[in-house]
Amino acid sequence: MTMSRGWLLAVAVTACFVSAGCSQKSEGVGESARSSQRLPREYACHRAADAILVDGRLSEASWASAPWSDDFADIEGFEKPVPRFRTRMKMLWDDRFLYVAAELEEPHVWATLRQHDEIVFNDNDFEIFIDPNGDEREYYEIETNACATIFDLFLVRTYLDHGPALHDWDMRGLRKGIHIDGTLNDSSDTDVGWTVEFALPWRSLKEAAGCAAPPKPGDVWRMNFSRVEWQHDVVGGRYQRVPNTKEDNWVWSPQGVVDMHRPQHWGRVRFLAKSN
């Protein structure tokens, strides 16, 4: 069920929506490559100079010039082992969409869940978290697996603050594309990985953003990105999760604990007026 803009705004008011705008000139926000282990991590999101076809291939000139983020790290921090497989993301924006792309190294690309709003992190997945005004309330979560099954939800408050997660909220107008460098669900070969591409419409993100959406150049939003990776077996030629094992959680900006729902630890994304 898609919820109306008015309904979400009412929820935000009920939840004590006190912040009037996004951070404008936060100090210390710059290119992510300046320090790979500084927290929270930072990313400069350039404006797209050409039209983006959301197909997972990232073939446009704007994507070619957009910087990659630092490689993802363990959710608990840099002192933990380096992830087995590389993950990195990049972003763009224009008047209609916020674009997010991620490259996931993966020698065995598999997915089982195909119904919208199934709990996608029970497969290997990629996840986006967005708290536009950084007030640690009213934020968005969007997940996908390798067969492009979407799980999108709206959080009124964090789970620690007893906030409900609205699973029946849908991001209207979302576009997504998956490109697999290999073969999905084929255990007989070795894959390179998969690429995720999203176009997230500002008209949906502004429903409870509490600030300008699309943003103004110089605005800073709080975001994070996560990858869930499970150990697997091959049984009868098919991939299966290893029972009673814990998933790996690799993220852009480490949280310090195994809990993505602590927006105070998310990274900072600054929107720039010109293409790179």
Within a domain: 42: yes
Q: Which of 1-15, 133-147, 158-172 has the lowest mean pLDDT?
A: 1-15
> What pLDDT score was predicted for residue 28?
40
CATH number (domain holding residue 266): 2.60.40.1190
Distant-in-sequence, close-in-space partners of 10: CB < 8 Å, separation ≥ 6? none
Mean pLDDT in residue range 33-46: 82
Between CA 41 and CA 252 the distance in angstroms is 7
Per the structure, how many domains does the chain have? 1
Tell me whether residue 82 is in a domain. yes
CA dist., res. 72 & res. 36, Å (int): 10
Q: What is the spatial distance between Cα 152 and Cα 144, in angstroms, rounded to a whole number?
A: 9
Residue 74 lies in a domain: yes
- The C-alpha R_g of the chain, in whole angstroms, comes to 18
Per-residue pLDDT averaged across 173-180, rounded? 98
Domain range for residue 100? 5-271
How does the average pLDDT of the chain come out, rounded? 90
| Complete DSSP assignment for 138-175 | SEEEEEE-TT--EEEEEESS-GGGTPPEETT---TT-E
Segment 128-145 shows an average pLDDT of: 97
The answer to the question of residue 138 being in a domain is yes
Q: What pLDDT, on a 0 to 100 scale, did the predictor assign at position 125?
A: 98
- Alpha-carbon separation of residue 119 from 71, 85, 113, 150, 198 (angstroms): 25, 23, 8, 9, 19
Q: Is residue 276 part of a domain?
A: no
- Asked if residues 220 and 126 have their Cβ atoms less than 8 Å apart, the reply is no
**63, 67, 68, 69: CA torsion to nearest 10:** -140
- Beta pairing class for 87-93 and 42-47: parallel
Residue 230 lies in a domain: yes
pLDDT at 35: 53
pLDDT tens digit string along 71-95? 999 999 999 999 999 999 999 999 9
102 touches 89 (CB < 8 A): yes
Contact 178, 124 (CB under 8 A): no
Asked if pLDDT for residue 265 goes beyond 80, the answer is yes
- Residues of the chain with pLDDT > 70: what percent? 87
Record the pTM.
0.89
Q: Residue 135 domain-assigned?
A: yes
Burial of 157 (0-12, 13-18, 19+ CB in 10 A): middle
> Rounded CA gap, 200 and 209, in Å?
13
